A and B are shown apart, each in its own frame.
Chain A
Amino acid sequence: MQTAGGVSACLPIHSDMDLVWVRQHVRQAAAQLGFGLVEQTKLVTAASELARNTLVHGGGGQMECAPLEGRSPGLRLTFSDDGPGIADLDQALRDGYTSGDGLGMGLGGARRLVHDFSVDSRPGAGTTVTVAVWKSGAPRPREER
């Protein structure tokens, strides 16, 4: 229901069907903000990877989607779960490392697909991954932070 219109939303991630919902919402939100096709596809793919991590490794959680103000429109996605957390973040970000049976490209790949990427995780305290993307043409507003 929250998918209809609007960029801001908080979507649950508890099943494969929810992943479809997340992807569709992110695609719609990105299209609404005027993202190009390549940017949309990259963001949706990153969201898909992170949402799946939330589901598979975090045992389910949620995604928050919010628009970003700036010189050009942007989108911030926050994936959070109350799962076991990530013990070694550097290892988790390394391509090819997986604690499951995937390719081990999800977290590192998602980082390459977005402009801003941060992970907040401690063992036993859940994981929150926040990514931000701005519409192309804009400089990465890292200096604002």
Chain B
Amino acid sequence: MPEREAAGNQQTPEHAVGDFLLRRREQIAQRWADAALFRTVFTVSRDEAVEAGRAVAEALAAAAAAGRVEDPEANAFAVVREQLSRTAASRSRAGSTIAQISAEVDALRPPVTDLLRADLADASAERVLECTTALTVLMGTLRLVVLETVMSAGQELIDRQRLQLLEVATPVIKLWEGIVAVPLIGTLDSARSQVVMETLLDSVVEQHARFAILDITGVPTVDSLVAQHLMKTVAAARLMGAECIVSGIRPAIAQTIVHLGIDLGSVLTRASLADALAYALQQQGADIVSAVPSPASHR
């Protein structure tokens, strides 16, 4: 017995924790499988949860064995990132807040601490304190790694959605032979208006369009920059031989543009998309007539 204790004391607390985690990984994984973080994600099979828990325990053991319990950049945590990013990401998609996920990761610690204490039943009080402290630091680092993963996943999602918005919000619709329309929706910043201009000009060529309608019904704010973008687009379309009509100018927007002092006199405008289409059709020589003869013609 004194021999074992002496051997134990030779190890640093970090190494001891590393050994312990590796030795007890099965029990730890079993306990973690019942923790909220794993249980709620691996709903189909408990074995999967146990397996994920085991991988995390092994990774933590490696980090501890390397003496890098405080270093979230330790190689061993790469495995944790991979394992838990899926888990944490699905928790975050399910609507968990960062605080909830943090608490769930924190809940992984007590079962391990209990096991560690049981393991060190015959060690000195000082030794127990050293080892549990090392374990606590290690689990704190784990929590940091998981939260980092969750937040970067959120950022990735935002970046991806931003790109999606650029594409999604600029469909060019062929309304009639030679007439295309772009319903603009949302904020028209420089990046988006560049996309709008490009897609519109492309479709003017493609559809041999003589009329291009820019509908701004879905643009909440028309300030001088938006107006400038609109005018540039109109001018570019005109250079390509297409007449541009800006439609969907709501009363509030019209009054604001007047106060702002922007001169849209060079731009053809209409109140609604229907008006713009009617104008374009008329210019093309098309007339809209009712298919049902009016009662007057029967008499």
Q: Which A residues form the contact surface with B (CB < 8 A)?
A: 16, 19-20, 23, 27, 37-38, 40-42, 44-45, 48-49, 52, 95, 102-103, 105-106, 108-110, 112-113
Contact = CB atoms under 8 A, between A and B. Distances in A.
B262 A103 contact: yes
B261 interface: yes
B262 A45 contact: no
B256 interface: yes
B227 interface: yes
B103 to A, nearest CB: 20
Nearest to A40: B252
A27 B187 CA distance: 14
Contacts of B222: 45
Contacts, number: 68
B189 interface: yes
Given A16-B189, A20-B187, A38-B251, A48 B221 contact: yes
Contacts of B251: 38
Contacts of A20: 187
A113 B256 contact: yes
Contacts of A102: 224-225, 228
A105 B253 CA distance: 16
A23 B220 contact: yes
A49 B252 contact: no
Interface SS of chain A: helix
Contact of B261 (A37, A42, A48, A95): A95
A112 B221 contact: no
A37 B256 CA distance: 11
A40 B252 CA distance: 9
16 contacts: A16-B189, A16-B191, A38-B251, A38-B256, A40-B252, A42-B252, A42-B259, A45-B221, A45-B222, A48-B223, A48-B225, A49-B224, A106-B223, A109-B261, A110-B260, A113-B260
A103 B256 contact: no
B75 interface: no
B255 interface: yes
A19 B190 CA distance: 12
Given A20-B187, A49-B223, A109 B260 contact: yes
Contacts of B260: 45, 49, 105, 109-110, 112-113
Contacts of A106: 223-224
A38 B255 CA distance: 7
B223 A52 contact: yes
A112 B261 contact: yes
A106 B262 CA distance: 10
Contacts of B253: 41
A9 B256 CA distance: 25
Contacts of B220: 23, 27, 44
A31 to B, nearest CB: 12
